[in-house]
Every structure is written in structure tokens, then in C-alpha cells.
Structure 1
């Protein structure tokens, strides 16, 4: 019987599945979420999809979560993709090695980074398979799945929207874990379809019975089947049970029952069958149920203390009673409801004892702590010290691969220990650190504060305080970071000197980002002295990074660069790279960029990106920095995809400051291009950050973006107020980082709106900044530009233009040209004004800043000059010629069969960025998949 014939009453669902398979065959991604109660037919629908997919030449991967395997990191995905260290496929074997032994070959990766690497490698493996054929990936029973599998599936859905991948997941309607809710939301966001399986109607139940029996049910049997509530599994089980009992007979072309007695549920039916089996079979079934809905004969034998042959013989009658099926080397319950009925029929005490026995037997047979952790969680009782020790071992084993699993295991270990137990504080300290690694920073800080506030074991003082500092810093609770750091240094007199360095570094950053830059620098120098005295390279990098941030925010860019260069050199020599707090190449690039050394900065960012592909630790920050180079040099066709990628990575990391920063630059670009509706929509994501009583340390760029948009909409007074508020906030903190961004607009708008006092205040401040960074051309250019605007002095403004040309920052360069041209025109120096406006026009047109270019054209016409049509840099909107150089590079590599990850590594961008470029390419070329793209490439360049 074909799949559709088996599936009574599911015509609409089969139609949806067929549509998804058609899209898959056309090269489109899709996702189906199949929801419903146990026994409602989820597995049958999935089986139909799998059969149709295989018949259509689709590569099929299937995995299923199991009720007692939530502590197995990436269990569902590993099963589906056959990720085993013994796999003949080197890629699968490499991932399998990380899953089973993350410390092998991963010494340089801090805890939590292995999880990122595993996810990236899984995405790359699936995408590589998609380049060979369409792929169906099935993950069933996700209500039991581990957090790592849910994360991997979510990332696959977000990263591969342009690959021929059909993702099908099944879950019960409730209860649904929080991690699964996030996955379902991600699938919905990516256009996934939810199929909710409803109970069958009365006529459909009759049709199901007719197909099962070969004839329609009689009146009595039909009435009995209505008690199944439309659940096809229950209805089928009733028919099988009645048939097995010999109470069904044919009457006048129908099948009727000679009894009206019916168990109340599938569970009752199973229990009734169970009571009819021999005692040995019942005992073995109970042991099997405790091991899960599927268990190896070897494990059943170990827990039951019987030989494997004896187990096979003892379970034979359970197979005959249709309670079990065989699968590979395992026995499998015919349905999860059968497993649940047998498991729930066990008294709670018996279940607990059997789980504890299972844990002991499996560990005695050599099982790893993670393999038996679920049994320990369910089998241990309060005060079970051995179980606590084993759970801590399992938590340590899961730390790098699946931080959330570590948190769950330590929660259970902590709950098993009585108050005042000698190990209680140590377990709590481990839990704080695990929560921090898992990104549960609020939970980590709350538990750490609770632990430190009461009497506790002296040995946990330092690790808990260090974890608390990290959690508070991630929450941007800078005042509390300062206080906790001071308390740590005062209350821990026995703290080793080198352990004081990261405490001081955190305190330094807190001072800096709260606006006390002098104190931030002073504290960083204390840390630097300790690290240098000890001759420890890694700790010296900690201190130098804190110091360069403190002096950089003050506008002392040359000094910050010297510290960054030294930190970069020391980091290359450091042996303990796990203790390095930041990506030294990233911070070297940031300081190079601040010093107008843009090409060198980009080279540093590309090297940092190459490293971050393996860890992901600072990927969003590195993407942001690299995007700013593209923005600053006018390569906006590359800047926008990079900013989008940065925003996506920031969302994944939970970094709102980076997200709003990326939005601010996208607002600037949309405004410059004249796309004000898009700019307004993007600005909604940053207006809230500017509306509060307390601005953040990225207020300068957010204010600049909003002000430029308001100016474009004709609200110059409103724009000025936004800029003044952001400027005063920065000035009160002694923070000069965004002076170059804010000052020219402030001075110009201040003069235009009768606020020369503001213009003079800003001019004096940026002129003083030249003393802090006299070697930086853009700093001197902005100072001359503001003074020239205030004094209406064309020669000062011409000097600003000359310095802006040296700096090579497009927006500053073109803006300086416009300001100088305005002054020159006012002093009847028309030819010089015309030349500078033409220079600004060329810069804006190169970047695609059409609105700003139109403004310059209007000013040229006001001088009696009629600029020619737009240059050849303005590409057509569709076709191969419409692609940017980067889009062409991506297209060529994709046509070679490279995955997004491989393209990203080749071009030193991120897979997020490649996805964004491909979306643009598909739209411009009118193609819908990678195969069609390859065809266009081959026809164009072949």
C-alpha cells in the first residue's frame, strides 16, 4: 500500500508536503513543522515525505530524538548525518571526533567555542551535500531534543535559505521547551509552514477501519471506535486488540464486534497486554522501557544482569504481542505511546531504582558519563554523592560542546546535595561558570551574587567573582563591575598577582565605558605593571587591551596604536591563548583604522576573520569593523551586506549595542541614497536607544545617523537637538571617540540655526583633540573644517580638504569639499568652488549616494554649472553587468560548487554575508537556485 493510501484523512497535509517537495526539486529551500498529539500520525506523514523524496532522487537524512537522551550533545543531528569518529567520510569523522572527544585537537579553543565550530561544520556539510543533490533533513520528536541539535537546526534554517534543503521537524503540541520555541519561531521567520494534525473525523475513522479490516465496521464496532477520539494509532490498536482476542466477525458485508468492552486508552490496552505476558518478559520490558524507546540488547542485558541470548529469548513474546519491533542491533517499542505506557505503569520508586541501576550497569560496562547522565538525573536521590560526582564529570565533558547541557546537569547535581555539604559551593561555582559560558548571563550574575552574599567555601571566592565580573560586563552593568572588582581586590588578599590582572582589566573597561577614561587608563596600567613583572605574555595582552581602549576613547589614537601593536606581537608569542580575552588582530585593526591607516586595518580584520571562522568568539565585532572599512572607503555595495551579516551575528550572540550600531550605518547609507522609507524603517531600531535617560557609549554614531535622516526630511532643528544631546553626553564623559562623526554637522547646523555658541563649543573641543592625535590626518581635517565653518574662512576649509584627501575617508572627504565650496562661493571664488563640488560629486556617485549627489548637482547648477549625466559607475539594475565586483566573485565561486562557508573563507567575509550577496545576485539575475546561477555564469564567461 502506498503512503497516500495509508494516510486516511490527510489529503490537505499531503498536498502541502507535495508542494514543498516540488519547490525542493526546483532548488528552493523549505521547512515543514508537523505538530500533533502522540499517535495522531506525524510519523506516517513524515514516512510518506521520505518515500516520495527518495523516489525523486533526493538525499535523505533522518534523525529522531529520544526521551532519555537530552544530555547527548547534537544527538538528533549526529544520528541524522551519521556524525561518527568512525565514519569513512573524513568530514563526518572530524565532526564526530569533536562530539565525542572535544579536547583532542582543540586545546586552543576556550569552552563554548567548540559548539560554534561544530555548528559551522554541520552547516558546511549539509550545504556541500545540497550542491550535489536536493536534501531532505528530518528531525522527529524535537520535544525531546537536546539544545545543541535545536541550535544546529535553527542555524541551518537561517543560513541555507538559498540551498535546496527541505527541513521537516515533528513535535508534540505541548509541553514545548523554550529552546524548541525559539527554533519554531526561526522556522516561521524563514517562511516555514506548520502542519497541525487534527483528529480524524468520524467518516475518516470508518475509512481507516475499512482499510484495516477489508470491510466497513458494523454499528457496535463503529461506536467503539468513536472512543478513540479520532486518534489513528488508538483506533488501529483497538482493531488489532479485538482481532487478536477473536471477537471480530463478518456480518452482512461488515465487520462487527461481539463485545462492547474497550480499554480507556492505548496505555490501558498496553498494560492489559503486559499482564498477559510471562513474568520474565514483563521484567525485561520494564528494563527496556527505562533505557528508552529504543535500546540495545547489550544494554538491556547489562542492566538486567542476564546474557544477551537470554534477553532475546525473554523478549520474544513481546514481539509476538506487537509491543516491540527490531531495528539494527536494538529493540524498539512499536510506538512511543507503548513505551510511555509501560514506563508510566512502573511505580515511581521502581522507576528511580531502575534508572540508578541502569546508570551503574552502563558505567560499569565502560559508558561515558554523558551517556548515562539522564539515568543519573532520574535515578539519583537526595544525598547521592556518587551521582553528584558523575553528573559533574558529565557536565565537564559537555562544557565545550553543549554549554546548556552542562547547566542542566549541574542544576541537578546541585539539587542532590544537602545544604551545608562540603561540595555544595564548588558545584554552585561550576554552575555559575557554566551559565556564563552558555550565555545565561543574568542567571550567572544572580547565582554568583547569592553565593558571595552568604558564607561560602574560600576556594570558590575567586572563580565566582571572576565569573560575576564577566556576567556584569556582558550586561553592561559597569558601575557594578567597578564595585565587584574593588571588592575582589580588597577581600581576596591571597589572590595571586596574575589573577589580579583580569580583575583589573574588567575594572578598567568598566571605568572607560562609564566615562571615567583617566581612571580606566590608570587601572589598566596597574594591571600592565603586574603582568610585566611576572613576564606573562597573555596577561600583558589583557592589560594592554584594556589600556588601548581607555586611551583610544580619549582620542589618543597614536598611543592606542602603539599598545595594540605590542599586544599583537605578544599574543603571537603567548602559549596560553585560551586566556586571551580578545582578538588582538581585531583591536590592532581598530586602532589602525582610527589612525587613518585603512588598508592596514582591513588586512588586520581579514586575518582576524580567518581566525574567527574557527571560533566565532568575536565574529560580530570583526564583521562590524570590516564593514566600516567598506563604508568609509565608499564601497557601500559591500558595506550593506556586511552590515546585515553583522546584525544577524549580533542577534545570535545577543549583542544589542552591535545590532544598533550596524543599523545606524545602514540608516546613513539609505539616507545618502535617498531611500528615506527604508532609512525610517531601519531607524526604528535605534531611536529607542537614544530616547532613554542614559545614553550608551555608541550614542555618537546613532545620533549622527538619526540626525542625517531628520535633516533629509527637513527637520534641521530636531537634528541639531539630537546631535547636541549626544555631544554633551560624550563631552561630559571626556569621550572623544565620535568627535569626527558629530562635529562638522553640529557646527554647520548650529550656525544655520542661530546656535553659534554650540558651534564654538564644538570647534574648541575638536581643536583641542589635535594635541591628542596630531599625527592623524582626519582629526586635523575635522578641526580645520569646524574652525573654517565658524570663521567662514575658505583657506582653513581648503586645508581641511587637503588633509581629508590624505585620510581617504569618503564621507569626510566629500563633506569637506562641500563645506569648502560653500565658503569659496560666498567669497566669489566660483571656479574653486566648482572644482570642489565636482570632486564631491564624483565621490558620492562612486559610493552610490544618489541623494547627496543630487544635492551637490543642485549646488553646481546654482553656480551656473550643468554637470553631465551620471558616470559609467552606475550599473544597470538587472543582468550580469548589474553585479558588483564582490557579487561577481561570489557568483563565480558558487558556480564552482563551493559552499557558502568555503566562499566566505576564500573572500574573508562571513557565511551571513555570502547569503546576503546571493540574495541580491538571485534577484538581479532572475534565478532561483545555485544551479541556475551556475548556468548564467557559464554562459556569461564561457
Structure 2
């Protein structure tokens, strides 16, 4: 590579393909390639690589770039590419320009002369012709380009055309040209690019979050790093490039990004600014309402923007492909105008009956800067809809209600309503200390007994959430003596107190308190109190290993709560516990149905923080049952909600993501995820378990099994209770055996067997059998564990147990049975895409003279072969005309998961619409 060539990241497959074409050309074989991708995705950089490679190999290289004016001048692009013009260096080309100027560009004689010229060049050396931004090319140039394609079959001629996405131009892709679609870069490639630009080893967590706005586009990633460097907002320390603080999109960065949208006219940019103010995703109806333009007037504009890839379809909504573009459009709108537009949008959406969360977001944005206050109509709307807003988007509600309360005098009639709604919002946000302070202050101010009772419930909730059971009990005791205090509030508070006792380990107090709460809930006929009390009783039963009774309690709690919006978060907690219990009991199919129900409820009515937890639970489940593509999709969707997650939930997210990347052999992503998460601390909580096991996996991948054993042994020795350690204890037994430490292998097995005697969940029993079979080198015991993993649909555990069986059989001298078992494990690993597991199992079988039955087959990066198994299923269902919700129901997945899969399908196939996906799917089915 010469010094002039750009450094390219993440395009190794495409670079390899283009270099092969040049090598074939030098050997005498011509060809044609169509390079396609959105603006800034790296097409021009790849063309530069082709130019440099061809020049090094002695080829004649000619190239040109089209622009928006090209279409107005027939043959302009091709003449520029061939160097034909009045100022050409060669007299022959000047003369040819004179002859062509007098001819009809569409006449066959013109194409004949240009083709003859190129053939003449091919006689002396291989020829490479490259044209960039073909989407702006004139029709005459395209017709001649098609004529030249025919020459590539007989002459050493390579044609390379690069195009942005454009609808209605599919004819240019035909004629035998090889099509290479450039999808967005992986996060690891963007991180490497940013590190290179910043002269660092890696970007830090805050910089990585900002780079996520580039959505895999290298041009935008470069703009981010260069802008931050110019403004001295980036510092490098210990090899890490990091933001000096939480940095918003700067004016200079926004203007640089918008410079890349120069192909849009002012009217379109104005419409995109309106869209940007509606948020990352919006409906065409909302855009029509806010812009006060009929939907029919927007059709052409929306299609144009979709064709460029600036906007993409997201289910029934539209969204900006690059959050950075949306932020740039937003930040470059003058502040005064922006606030006024938000206020106008809130009013128009209010009058149109839009969902409360959309109105609330616009109201909040309208007072986001300066001394702006809500007007009287805004306050009136909050009085009517504040509670619903608190359930839908509690963060928005808490801030908006707080702003509305500031200017209101103490005697204002609306204060009590707004105070109570804000306390509810803080409870929904699980901000227990703030909820406690507000509820206490509000109780001194509120006169209405019903609102006072509700605020007392929020006060007890805030105390119980912090395990302050004695203080909560004192508040309840005082409430019992208050005149007219409704029983339903006492029932709720009592159930919450029981939960606090349970969290403190006071089982007897919890049982007695929940019994009384159930009695009060039935007497008051309060569904929420009944559901909460049954939920607490179910948790108590599960902790006492009465799993069957716990399952009954959870089922009764879910039935009691029903579909009421107020009950949504609690119902999701109940369903989550029920799902995990069903799976632990070996009812995998029922657990999957419970998860699907959770996802439907969460996407419809959960608060953002609860939705984040549900997505993590779904990713957890999908990882366990071997639906790794769905796990990856849920993790991507969960990654959009990191602002709603606690630090504990972030560790959960990073842990599952790292496990997936590690097992799939994506080392760069694996290391980055572990770096973001930081060092895990041993504890028995499941959310940290994935991160801990991922760190153990890194030690094993690094060839340090002793370190891996030490880490797991430390966790085993410091865990206060059995918890979820059955998930990784078989791993510890295997590793301890591999390094010859029988003492630790025996202790780990005894720990797992001891847990199996305490809790009779089949998954724990299977783990105990797995450990015992490994320790005792007993194929019969291992097969018992394998049978359970198979029956309960746990392919990853099944494959690891079968791999262990193969090793034990080989050690026992039964090589035919070992080969058979090994082949079964390999088949599962290949289906999962578990490249590290394939590597590990091959290394374990090699000393026994048993080789892998299948070689590695690299997966394509674009086109139908690049789709994963799940993505192919989704694409075929799209081809059948099914909507995203229908596909979600068919595949037992969430709607957002299907949206993620569809976006991956669109990117890999290089298409822009579901119709084009359907055409591709139909072609694949016809070939099958």
C-alpha cells in the first residue's frame, strides 16, 4: 500500500474480492463489478484501493465521478472516465471528442467508436475503468457502459462502478456484473478506525457511545473524531481515547455531517428538520400532522429520502438510519425556532389525539432551555394526563411535572394532582430516595384524603425498596389509625412490607405479613394488591424450594393483575419469575410462550426501564436455548435503552454480549465488551454471572486454564448461596480436570450435587449429573444430563455435554463412540456459529487422534449467503407478505427483534424495501 492510499477498516472480504478481480484481469480475464452502499460507507476508499492495485500491476487505469449535473449532459461521465475532451493530452482523444460532439449520443456509432477505443487499449495492457456515484450518471453513459460490459468476456477489461442506493435503477446491476453491497461496519471496525484517527489503542466507553450515532458509517465516524479533536474534547491516556466529559453534537460537527446531505434541496432539509424534532422514530401521520401537509404530499419526499438511506423503515414507523444525522439536523435548527416548533408540535399532536408520550416529549422539549414555562393549556393537559404519562414515560413525566409545579402557588387547585402524579413517576423510575422525600413533603401539603393515602403508599414503597422494613411498618401502623384510610392502600403497603422482610431474609415475618396482605387484598377487591401479595408469596415459596406452589402463585398473580396499564410493570415481574421457574422445571416450551407474552406486553405498555429488563431477559433466554441470532437482535435493541439501565443491568448487557461474541469467535468485539464492562466482582447475582463467566472464557481463550479455574473457584468459595452457579460448575469441573486438579473438580461436583439436593429443579439435577459424569468419567451419567438438555431445548449445554462425553469415551478407549459423539457436538456448534467451541473441542480431541469431521466454511458478507438462519426465515416470511408483528408471532419473537432482523436483511441484501426482499426471497425459493 502506498502512502497515498487510505487506511481501511472492516472491509477485508470486499477488498479481497476486488483484489482477486484485479489478479484475474492481469491473467487475462476481464470482469465487471457493481459496488453499492450509502453515502460515506467507504465505496470511494475501495475504488482507491483498486486504482492503486491495478497501477502496481501495470494496468491502464481511467476513472471519473458523476455528480448531480452529470445527468444533464449526455455521455459526460463516460467521456470524463476515458479522458476524452478538447483538452485531452492525446491528440487521438481530442479528435474523437470533436467527432462525438457532432453525433447523437444515443446513436449506435457512438458506442461503437468508444468500444473500439477501449479494445485498442486492451491490446497493449489490461484496462481498468472506474466510475463513482453512478446514481447521478446520464443515460447515454449508462448505455455505453452496458455495451462495454460485453467486451469484458473477450478482453482484459475490468469495469468497476460504485453507486449510492437509488430506486428504479436496477437495470445497471445486470449484464453479468458482480454485485458487492457494503453494509454498515461492525462496531469493532468503527472502534479501530476511531482509535487510528486518535492515535490510540482503543476508544473509551463515552467515545464508543458517541460513535454509535454513526451507525457503522465510516465517514460519520471520522467526522466525530476529527471534530472532537479540533475542539480539544478528546484526550488520550494509557492508550485509550476518551471524551473529556459528556459531549453533545457540536455545531461544527453538525455542519460537517449536514454537508454530506447536499444532494437534498432546501425544502427536503426543512422537512427532515421537522422529522428530527419528532425523535429517532416517527410515523408518516405524525410528520403530516406537525408539518401541516397532507400525507399525499409527503409520499414522493418520503420515497426519495428512503432511497438514499437517510431514513429507513422501522416497522410501521420511519427512523433515521444514523442518529448523528438526526442530531445534526436538530442542533443546527435555531434554538428559538426549535422551541417554538416543539410547542406547536405538542399542541397539534394534542388536538389530533396522539399518544400521551408523544405529546409529553414535545411539551418537555418546548421548555428545555432558558426560562420557558408551560402555558396554561400545557398544565391543564398534565392535570388530565399526568398519571398516564407517569406510567408510559416516567422520566419525561417526572421532569415535566417538576417543571409545571415550580411556578404554581401553594393554593393552586392543581398542585395536589401534579404532586401525586410526580410521586408516581419517581416510583416508576425506582428512584426510592427521591420518591421518599417528595411523598413526605407532599403529605404535609395535601388535604384530599384519597391523594394522601396514595402518597402514603408511595412512601411505604420507597422505604421497602431500600429494605427499611421497620420504618415502613411504622408508617403503616400510623395509617391504620387514620380515619377513612382505604383498605386497598393498606393491602398494597402490607404486601410491599412483606417483600422488604423477604429481601432482608426474615422469612417468618414475610410469611405472616403477606398472609395479612392477601386477606386485605381480597376484602378490598384491589387487583394490584392481590397481584403484589401473590407475587411476594410466590417468591417466598421459590426460596423455600417449593417450586410447584411458587408456580401456582405466579400464575394467580398474573391473572389478578390483568391488562390494566397501572399493573404492567408488576405483571412483567411476575411473568419473568414464572418464565424462569418454568424453564428451571424443564418446561422449555411453556417458558418460551411466557417470554413471548412478556415481550408483547413490554413493547405495548412497559416503562422504558422495564422494557430494557425484559429485553435482557429475552436475550438471556435465547442465549440459553441456542437462538443466538435472536439473542443478538434483542441485545442490539436493549443497547438502545442503556440510558434506562442501572449499572447492574449494564453489566448484564455487557456480560451476555461478551459471552455471545466470545463463543462466536469475534475476539475484537469480545475484548471491547469486557473492557467497557470493567472487572467483575464475585457475587451470586445472575446479572453479574454472565460477565464473570465471560472473563473466565477469556482466560481459557488466552490459554490460561489455571487462571480460569482460580476465578471460578474464588466465586464458588465466596458465594453465599447456590444461586445460578449450576450454570458454570460443569465448566469448572472440566477445566479443573484438564489441568489435573482433581481436588477442585471434586469440590465443584460436590457443590453442584449439594445444590441439587436443596432445590429439585431438573436443570440443577442435570448440572449435577454433568459434573459427576465428568469427574467419574462415567458415560452413563453424562448421557443422563445430555438427555435432559436435549428434552429442554438447550443446544449450547447439550453440545458441551456431548463434547465432554466424547472426551470421556476417548479416554475410556471407545474411539468409535467418541467420534460419533464428537460429530454430534460439532454439528450443534456449527449451527450456533460457535467458532471458539469448535476450536476448543478440536484441541481436546486431537490428543486422541480424532479430527474434526467438518472444516470451517467462511460466511459471505453480502447477499443471500450472508444471511443467518434466522434472517433467512425472516426474509422468506417477508416474501410471503407477512408484517413484522405477524412474523414475530410466527417465530415467537418480539416485534423489535424482527425489526432488527429485517434491517440486517435489508443491509446484507443491499435493498431498501420489503418488496425488494420479497423479490430476492422468491428467487431463492425458485432455485430451491
Residue 683 of structure 1: which of 674, 677, 680 is its match? Answer: 674
| 1:393-542 alignment runs, 5 A limit | 395=386, 407=398, 410-411=401-402, 414-416=405-407, 428-437=419-428, 439=429, 441=431, 444-445=434-435, 447-448=437-438, 451=441, 459=449, 462-468=453-459, 478-480=466-468, 482=469, 485-493=472-480, 494=482, 496-510=486-500, 524-532=514-522, 537-542=527-532
Over 3 Å counting, the alpha-carbon distance change for 1:737 and 1:893 in structure 2 is same
Confirm whether residue 707 of structure 1 aligns to residue 914 of structure 2: no
| 1:626-665 alignment runs, 5 A limit | 626-648=618-640, 650-651=641-642, 653-665=644-656
Residue 289 of structure 2: which of 58, 72, 82 is its match? Answer: 82
1:201-259: CA deviation from partner (whole Å, max 9, x where unpaired): xxxxxxxxxxxxxxxxxxxxxxxxxxxxxxxxxxxxxxxxxxxxxxxxxxxxxxxxxxx
Q: 2: CA distance between counterparts of 1:579 and 1:714?
A: 47
Q: Match for residue 863 of structure 2? A: 879
Confirm whether residue 781 of structure 1 aligns to residue 771 of structure 2: no
| 1:237-248 alignment runs, 5 A limit | none
Q: Match for residue 600 of structure 1? A: 590
Q: Match for residue 859 of structure 1? A: 844
In structure 2, the residue corresponding to 1:581 is in which secondary structure? Answer: helix
1:860-880: CA deviation from partner (whole Å, max 9, x where unpaired): 3322333432499x8655432
Over 3 Å counting, the alpha-carbon distance change for 1:626 and 1:404 in structure 2 is closer
| 1:212-611 alignment runs, 5 A limit | 392=383, 395=386, 407=398, 410-411=401-402, 414-416=405-407, 428-437=419-428, 439=429, 441=431, 444-445=434-435, 447-448=437-438, 451=441, 459=449, 462-468=453-459, 478-480=466-468, 482=469, 485-493=472-480, 494=482, 496-510=486-500, 524-532=514-522, 537-552=527-542, 556-571=546-561, 578=567, 581-583=570-572, 585-611=575-601
Q: 2: CA distance between counterparts of 1:679 and 1:197?
A: 39
Residue 825 of structure 2: which of 829, 836, 840 is its match? Answer: 840
1:506-526: CA deviation from partner (whole Å, max 9, x where unpaired): 445555566677766665455
In structure 1, the residue corresponding to 2:853 is in which secondary structure? Answer: coil
Over 3 Å counting, the alpha-carbon distance change for 1:905 and 1:134 in structure 2 is farther
Q: 2: CA distance between counterparts of 1:604 and 1:294?
A: 40
Over 3 Å counting, the alpha-carbon distance change for 1:607 and 1:389 in structure 2 is closer
Q: 1:782 Cα deviation (Å)?
A: 1.2
1:478-534: CA deviation from partner (whole Å, max 9, x where unpaired): 434x45533433332255443244334444555556667776666545534543565
Q: 1:711 Cα deviation (Å)?
A: 1.7
In structure 2, the residue corresponding to 1:698 is in which secondary structure? Answer: helix
1:129-188: CA deviation from partner (whole Å, max 9, x where unpaired): 699723489xxxxxxxxxxxxxxxxxx9998589997969xxxxxxxxxxxxxxxxx832
Q: Match for residue 800 of structure 2? A: 815
Contact residue 472 and residue 478 of structure 1 kept, 8 A: yes
1:344-388: CA deviation from partner (whole Å, max 9, x where unpaired): xxxxxxxxxxxxxxxxxxxxxxxx99999999999x9x9x99999
TM-score by length of 1: 0.57
Q: 1:836 Cα deviation (Å)?
A: 3.2
Q: Match for residue 711 of structure 2? A: 722
Q: 2: CA distance between counterparts of 1:802 and 1:408?
A: 54
Contact residue 588 and residue 604 of structure 1 kept, 8 A: yes
1:665-711: CA deviation from partner (whole Å, max 9, x where unpaired): 232222222222221212234335x24x9775522232222212222
Q: 1:738 Cα deviation (Å)?
A: 0.7
Q: 1:777 Cα deviation (Å)?
A: 3.1
In structure 1, the residue corresponding to 2:303 is in which secondary structure? Answer: coil
Q: 2: CA distance between counterparts of 1:677 and 1:405?
A: 37
Q: 1:637 Cα deviation (Å)?
A: 2.8
| 1:45-124 alignment runs, 5 A limit | 49=264, 53=268, 63=274, 80-82=287-289
Q: 1: CA distance between counterparts of 2:592 and 2:387?
A: 38
Over 3 Å counting, the alpha-carbon distance change for 1:513 and 1:821 in structure 2 is farther
Confirm whether residue 770 of structure 1 aligns to residue 770 of structure 2: no
Over 3 Å counting, the alpha-carbon distance change for 1:639 and 1:134 in structure 2 is same
Residue 891 of structure 1: which of 875, 889, 900 is its match? Answer: 875
Confirm whether residue 800 of structure 1 aligns to residue 790 of structure 2: no
Contact residue 436 and residue 463 of structure 2 kept, 8 A: no
Contact residue 623 and residue 643 of structure 1 kept, 8 A: yes
Q: 1:741 Cα deviation (Å)?
A: 1.0
Count of aligned positions: 669
1:603-648: CA deviation from partner (whole Å, max 9, x where unpaired): 2222333333322445434433443443233232333223322333
In structure 1, the residue corresponding to 2:850 is in which secondary structure? Answer: coil
1:752-805: CA deviation from partner (whole Å, max 9, x where unpaired): 56766654554344323334443x432212112323444555544344334433
In structure 2, the residue corresponding to 1:582 is in which secondary structure? Answer: helix
Q: 1: CA distance between counterparts of 2:854 and 2:361?
A: 69
Q: 1: CA distance between counterparts of 2:527 and 2:315?
A: 45
Over 3 Å counting, the alpha-carbon distance change for 1:514 and 1:834 in structure 2 is farther
Q: 2: CA distance between counterparts of 1:377 and 1:670?
A: 40
Q: 1: CA distance between counterparts of 2:797 and 2:408?
A: 63
Q: 2: CA distance between counterparts of 1:850 and 1:293?
A: 52
Contact residue 701 and residue 738 of structure 1 kept, 8 A: no
Contact residue 672 and residue 849 of structure 1 kept, 8 A: yes
Q: 1: CA distance between counterparts of 2:809 and 2:437?
A: 64
Residue 661 of structure 2: which of 659, 670, 690 is its match? Answer: 670
Confirm whether residue 916 of structure 1 aligns to residue 900 of structure 2: yes
Contact residue 509 and residue 520 of structure 1 kept, 8 A: yes
Structure 1 unaligned spans of 5+: 1-13, 93-124, 138-155, 169-185, 199-266, 268-288, 300-328, 330-367
TM-score by length of 2: 0.58
Q: 1: CA distance between counterparts of 2:326 and 2:565?
A: 41
Contact residue 670 and residue 679 of structure 1 kept, 8 A: yes
Structure with more relative contact order (C-alpha pairs < 8 Å, separation 6 or more): 1
In structure 2, the residue corresponding to 1:463 is in which secondary structure? Answer: helix
Q: Which has the larger Rg?
A: 1
Q: Match for residue 12 of structure 2? A: none
Q: 2: CA distance between counterparts of 1:387 and 1:636?
A: 46
Over 3 Å counting, the alpha-carbon distance change for 1:77 and 1:403 in structure 2 is farther
In structure 2, the residue corresponding to 1:613 is in which secondary structure? Answer: helix
In structure 2, the residue corresponding to 1:667 is in which secondary structure? Answer: helix
Q: 1:898 Cα deviation (Å)?
A: 6.8
Superposed CA RMSD: 5.9
1:65-120: CA deviation from partner (whole Å, max 9, x where unpaired): 99xxx9xxx99998742279x9998xx9xxxxxxxxxxxxxxxxxxxxxxxxxxxx
In structure 1, the residue corresponding to 2:653 is in which secondary structure? Answer: helix
Q: 1: CA distance between counterparts of 2:578 and 2:802?
A: 30
Contact residue 50 and residue 60 of structure 1 kept, 8 A: no
Confirm whether residue 187 of structure 1 aligns to residue 323 of structure 2: yes
Over 3 Å counting, the alpha-carbon distance change for 1:724 and 1:407 in structure 2 is same
Over 3 Å counting, the alpha-carbon distance change for 1:78 and 1:744 in structure 2 is same
